[in-house]
Chains A and B, each alone.
Chain A
Amino acid sequence: MALKTPLYDSHVERDGRIVEFAGYLMPVTFEGIVAEHETVRTKVGLFDVSHMGEIFITGPGAVDFADYAVTNSVARLDEGQICYTVCCNEKGHVLDDLLVYRFSDERVLFVVNAVNVEKIFEHLLSIAPDGLKIRDLTSGIGQIAVQGPAARDLLVSDPFFSRLAAGIKELEYYRFFTFEHEGAEILLSRTGYTGELGYEIYLPAKMAKQVWDGLLDGGGECGAAPIGLGARDTLRFEPGYCLYGHELDEDTSPLEAGLSWVVKLGKDDFVGREALAGEKEEKPARKLIGIEVTGKGIPRQGFAVHHDGETVGKVTSGTFSPTLKKPLAMALVKRAVPKKAEGITIDIRGRAASAVRTPLPFYKGSVND
């Protein structure tokens, strides 16, 4: 049976169109994907991301273990700092992409994709040393993403968050702080998945609806609106963010997917290091590129990419970009495809649609404002 997030009732009250995603009943759209997309690009939107998994690692050596489990450097993070990273298997292929929050030397949070919570939890248990506590606290935690150029204005004007206004205004990208409310810990981080200025709030499930409704119902001046999973996908696509199951999976290495910046081969040993070092030496077989379709049709995941009459790869994500108003795709292709590739086509239901390479990201938003 599908699970409900703590905000499910609010989505139904607000006429969200509900679908099952990763085992949860989630809103795919409210007002329409394009309208919601524009809300986040120009004002501020609220996302229920309570389906994301929260795995806490606590005890002596928590940071060292986290550093061993993922490819980016957790050891180099400050307390209150976050990194984006991937968690690989020994083959150097991606089990999941995630955020790592460093509270202290002995307390670390992994925020993982809903589809991968159990897999990552089991994987961590299998490689963890004795004495560390690894807990999946997903079901007790609600998560709300507040994204868009007016995200900060919305939070500091909200009665619940206004007491934290100074901290919110100072909070830098990929940093977080926690505060107490009625004896519970609430976490606020400057993170997101849209390319815009944004924050994510982690709070006890039972408090989530009150905070969510407060932000939405009091956020009229900022133009706040709820956003479904449909726009979440188009919003992450334009800034070129990877999505597990599309750009990343257990057949793909982070080096292929353009994530070499999160693979720190110079740090202490980590799972997948040997394979990734070897792959880097020999150069990855594939690379992730951006493509604009200049011919007819819209590229979709799985469509074949051809270059000079040869199949060179496939589309990992594709849509009609609501902001740039053109059909765009990310694709994993053979490394040999040249930068200025002409003569690219995408097989759109049996017809060759002409296309050109275009740099990633497609779009840069207000994320650093």
Chain B
Amino acid sequence: MVPEECTYTKEHEWVYHEGGVVVIGISEYAATELGDIVYIELPESGSNIKQMDPIGTIEAVKTVAELFSPVSGEIIEVNEAIIEHPEIVNRDPFEEGWFIKIKMTDPGELDNLFSFEEYSEFLGEQED
């Protein structure tokens, strides 16, 4: 996934949309902020979720973060590789380190997300 082609949540998730399916991961900023990720929990694929439902737990050495779904729909795939090797997310948050794929029921939910430019601006404000 190319960072410029994704949209973003305030919780530093990236969302890549293609043909009614979104791929979700965490931004490089989030991966760096969390530090070494050592444990990841993801839901079962096949489950139906609503926007803002929890869709995962990310534990770093010192902190824990919850992942919430930016969209409603059906989970069609989860990335088993990052459960086995959580460090992939630190190394490659946009490609190998994706988390989950969801078949959306309401594509309109994407409208509230940041564009890449808006997210970059948002990050700038965070650092001030």
A interface residues with partner B (beta carbon < 8 Å): 29, 32-35, 230, 233-234, 296-298, 300, 319-320, 322, 327, 349
How many Cβ-Cβ contacts under 8 Å join chain A to chain B?
Answer: 37
Contact A320-B64, Cβ < 8 Å, known A297-B57, A298-B59: no
Are A319 and B41 also in contact (CB < 8 A) when A32-B36, A34-B36, A230-B35 are? no
- Contact, CB under 8 Å: B39 / A298: yes
| Residues of the B chain whose Cβ atoms lie less than 8 Å from the Cβ of A29 | 35
Complex CA distance for A230 and B59, rounded to whole angstroms: 15
A346 to B: closest C-beta gap in Å: 13
| Contacting residues, chain A, for B38 (C-beta < 8 A) | 34, 298, 320
Other CB < 8 Å A-B pairs besides A33-B62, A297-B39, A322-B36, 10 of them? A29-B35, A32-B35, A34-B36, A34-B38, A233-B62, A297-B41, A297-B57, A298-B64, A320-B38, A320-B39
Chain A contact residues: over half helix, strand or loop, or mixed? mixed
Q: Chain A CB within 10 Å — which of B36, B59, B64 has the most?
A: B36
Q: Are A230 and B61 in contact (CB under 8 A)?
A: yes
Can you name the residue of chain B whose Cβ is closest to the Cβ of A300?
B64
Interface code B4-44, partner A: CB below 8 Å = 1, 0 otherwise? 00000000000000000000000000000001101101000
Complex CA–CA separation, A297 to B58 (angstroms): 9
**Interface members, chain B 83-116 (any A CB < 8 Å):** 90
Nearest chain B residue, comparing its CB with the CB of A296: B41
**Nearest CB of B to A226, in Å:** 16
A residues within 8 A CB of B36? 32-35, 322
Q: List 28 A-B contacts (CB under 8 A).
A: A32-B35, A32-B36, A32-B90, A33-B35, A33-B36, A33-B61, A33-B62, A34-B38, A35-B36, A230-B35, A230-B61, A233-B62, A234-B61, A296-B41, A297-B39, A297-B57, A297-B59, A298-B38, A298-B39, A298-B59, A298-B64, A300-B64, A319-B61, A319-B62, A320-B38, A320-B39, A320-B61, A322-B61
Q: Enumerate chain B residues within 8 angstroms of A230, measured Cβ to Cβ.
A: 35, 61-62
CB contacts (< 8 Å) of A298 on chain B: these are 38-39, 59, 64
Q: What chain B residues lie within 8 Å of A300 (beta carbons)?
A: 64
Residues of the B chain whose Cβ atoms lie less than 8 Å from the Cβ of A35: 36
A14–chain B nearest beta-carbon distance, Å = 17
Q: How far is the CA of A34 from the CA of B59 in the complex (A)?
A: 13
How far does the alpha carbon of A319 sit from the alpha carbon of B36 in the complex, in Å? 12
Q: Report the separation of the CA atoms of residues A233 and B38 in the bound assembly, to the nearest whole angstrom.
A: 16
CA of A349 to CA of B35 in the docked complex: distance in angstroms? 21
Closest beta carbon of chain A to B64's beta carbon, Å: 7
Which residues between 33 and 90 of chain B lie within 8 Å of chain A, taking CB atoms? 35-36, 38-39, 41, 57, 59, 61-62, 64, 90
Instruction: Tell me if B35 and A320 are in contact (CB < 8 A).
Output: no
Partner of A320, one of B41, B59, B90: B59
Measured in the bound complex, the distance between the Cα atoms of B31 and A32 in whole Å is 12
Instruction: Let me know if B39 and A327 touch, CB within 8 A.
Output: yes
CA distance A163 to B21 in the complex (A): 68
A298 to B58, CA, bound (A): 10
Q: What residues on A are CB-neighbors of B64 within 8 Å? A: 298, 300
